[in-house]
Chains A and B, each alone.
Chain A
Amino acid sequence: MNVIQTNSLTKTYNGKGGISDVTLSVGEGIVYGFLGPNGSGKSTFVRTLLGLLQPTSGEGYILGEPIGTTKSREKVGYLPELFRYPDWLTGKQLLEAHAELCKIPVRQRKKRIEEVVELVGMTGREKGRISGFSKGMSQRIGLACAILNDPKVVFLDEPTSALDPIGRKDVRDLMLYLRDQGKTVFLNSHLLYEVESVCDHVSIVHQGDMIVQGPWRELMMIEAQIEIVTDQPISVPMPTFVTHVEKIKEEEARTRWGIQLENEDDIPKIIQYLSSNGIALYEVKPITPHLEDVFMHWVNQKKESAYVDH
């Protein structure tokens, strides 16, 4: 069963902004990245799923329940991007209030609160007033709130925005821990490296449109590129699947070349072709594209298709 399912879900503000026509399915036990720059509609999408915003059109389901219903939020956790908690409460009181709202049995509350406080690294500090918490501590207590009810799906909206490098690593570890527990983590982020390091599946959104979605590994394969080192110039005519050849550097008697291919399957073919034409290969190295390049590739591709459509 899909944990999250949307069909042409749209939320706009008087016809402008927001996010349009999002159709996606998110399975169980994965970290799903919703990647896009600031203002691309990521938070709007999550807030619509959680019933905080009314959809303009389309439909959505969480754990099979229509969005906006109380039932759809029973097994859900959420850390908002603009996290603000009542500063007159202590961290523990906040968790107790949420435990009550989630109908966690009274007998289990204390134990569960202790567990989540430990998971987010706040043990010993949960009794302090939120007004005295740093931004990072507030974000940690927010994370504790998000996972308090042992949710099946957790929405994390820019969860590391206020954290230092250690905190970021802790959150990444927590996401992977939740995934290993069979939970689904829906991660909203504009940080490419964050998405790359934890996400199994990714959607890229830009200016309110969903551009592409799929397994991150596949999305990364926007092009196949290799670097080779030869002891002579490449003078033979290149086959058609080679889209670009570029001399990168001369290194004493050898030369380093960059070769762009149509796809990954062309790598063994080009090695064979060059060898059969008497070109000795001293090194062959596949090149991983820069994350920014991957993102821009999909954004540009969408723009081009929009241009053609018009």
Chain B
Amino acid sequence: MWTISKLTFKEIISKRIFLITIIMTLVFLALYGTAIYFAGKEGTQVGPNGVQGTETILVQQFISSQLLGVGLYFSSFITALLAILSSVSAISGEVSSHQIDTWLMRPISRAQFVWGKFVGLALIMIAYAVVLFFSIILLHQGIGKEWMELDIQPMQMIKAVSVFVIQPFVLIAFGLLLSTRMTTLNAGIVSIVLYGAAFIGGFIEQFGALIEKAALVNIGVITSLIFPIDSMYRKMTMILFDSIDNPLSLAQGGMFTSVSNPSNVMVWYAVVYGIVVVFLSIYSFKKRDV
């Protein structure tokens, strides 16, 4: 299994698209850092004579959390897309090119092959998600100076990043499942459509919570049960922006954070969901012709 994981890991790193991804991520981080820098610089001028009243603090909290939210939302989006694109071809690509033949004729089981692929992909995508997450936090808290800085405790960050990485974990498992049965193109389309549906479901849930409509919230919950992606992002923001010491923190989340708070059970559901989907991938791949 580890040999397949190592090969999967190496394969992604050796491809030109990986280099392009790294460069584009650096470009994104540079742009984000620039935006934070100017927002922080301009922000310090808010308030008469530098004196910060309640209103100024509220504005500061709102803008700051919005900027952090948008950074994390875009990071979540990039990570999700990369997780989908890398996983949907993981098996189908090798089957169509017949590269898989020489691996599978070795004394390894199909289950080991799928696990190997999953672990390799998950390791690299989780590492990418963690680096991106902390880069955004560091840029925001560091470059933004005092005016942009939010009260986020280290433990909050650790908890938040742990939930943040569940998204690529689930998406890789799901992409792999589709890859055992479908062509790369079909698997990619299905994954992206479901990702979009989860996003819309999450949006409907937020909207329902805001206007207190249980039916809309339920739609979001059902979508999360079918594809627990958006709820993980929402949970992550709740963990990150929710500070017991700061009564204003939760209220300042805005559109890139969350109004409703997915439960801890939902987090565990997503983890179990991912693992079950990997087992389904193994089952699906076990008896198919390659």
Contact = CB atoms under 8 A, between A and B. Distances in A.
B183 to A, nearest CB: 17
A47 B105 CA distance: 9
Given A80-B102, A97-B7, A98-B102, A88 B15 contact: yes
A80 B98 contact: yes
A54 B10 CA distance: 30
Contacts of A54: 287-289
Contacts of A53: 289-290
Contacts of A254: none
A51 interface: yes
B89 to A, nearest CB: 13
Interface in B88-122: 97-99, 101-109
Interface stretch (A68-76, A114-122, A230-238): A68-76
Nearest to B287: A54
Interface string B1-19: 0010011001100110000
A101 B98 contact: no
Nearest to A46: B105
A5 to B, nearest CB: 18
A89 B265 CA distance: 43
B7 A73 contact: no
A85 interface: yes
A244 to B, nearest CB: 48
B104 A52 contact: yes
B106 A73 contact: yes
Nearest to B12: A88
Given A52-B289, A52-B290, A85 B107 contact: no
A101 B5 CA distance: 12
Contacts of A86: 7, 11, 99
Given A73-B107, A88-B14, A102-B107, A78 B3 contact: no
Interface in B273-290: 287-290
B3 A76 contact: no
Interface in B1-40: 3, 6-7, 10-11, 14-15
Contacts of B288: 54
A12 B189 CA distance: 31
Interface string A39-78: 0000000010011111000000000000000110110101
B3 A101 contact: yes
Given A86-B7, A86-B11, A88-B11, A101 B103 contact: yes
Nearest to B101: A80
A98 B97 CA distance: 18
A263 B97 CA distance: 49
Contact of B98 (A70, A71, A82, A97): A82
Contacts, number: 64
A84 interface: yes
Nearest to A146: B102
Nearest to A149: B106
A44 to B, nearest CB: 10
A293 interface: no
Nearest to A79: B102
A48 to B, nearest CB: 9
Nearest to A80: B101
A78 B290 CA distance: 15
A94 B47 CA distance: 65
Contact of B105 (A71, A76, A84): A76
B110 to A, nearest CB: 9
A89 B290 CA distance: 22
Contacts of A50: 101, 104-105
Contacts of A70: 107-109
Interface string A81-104: 011111011000000011011110
A204 interface: no
A145 interface: yes
Given A86-B7, A100-B3, A52 B101 contact: yes
Contacts of A73: 105-107
Contact of A145 (B3, B99, B102, B290): B102
A74 B109 CA distance: 12
B2 to A, nearest CB: 8
B108 A101 contact: yes
Contacts of B103: 101
A101 B289 contact: no
A221 to B, nearest CB: 36
A103 B3 CA distance: 10
Contact of B106 (A71, A83, A85, A102): A102
B184 to A, nearest CB: 15
24 contacts: A47-B101, A51-B105, A52-B101, A52-B104, A52-B105, A52-B290, A53-B289, A70-B108, A70-B109, A71-B107, A73-B105, A73-B106, A82-B98, A82-B101, A83-B98, A84-B98, A86-B7, A86-B11, A88-B14, A89-B10, A97-B7, A101-B103, A102-B107, A103-B107
10 shortest interchain CB distances as A-B pairs: A101-B106, A88-B14, A70-B107, A100-B3, A82-B98, A50-B105, A53-B289, A74-B107, A78-B105, A80-B101
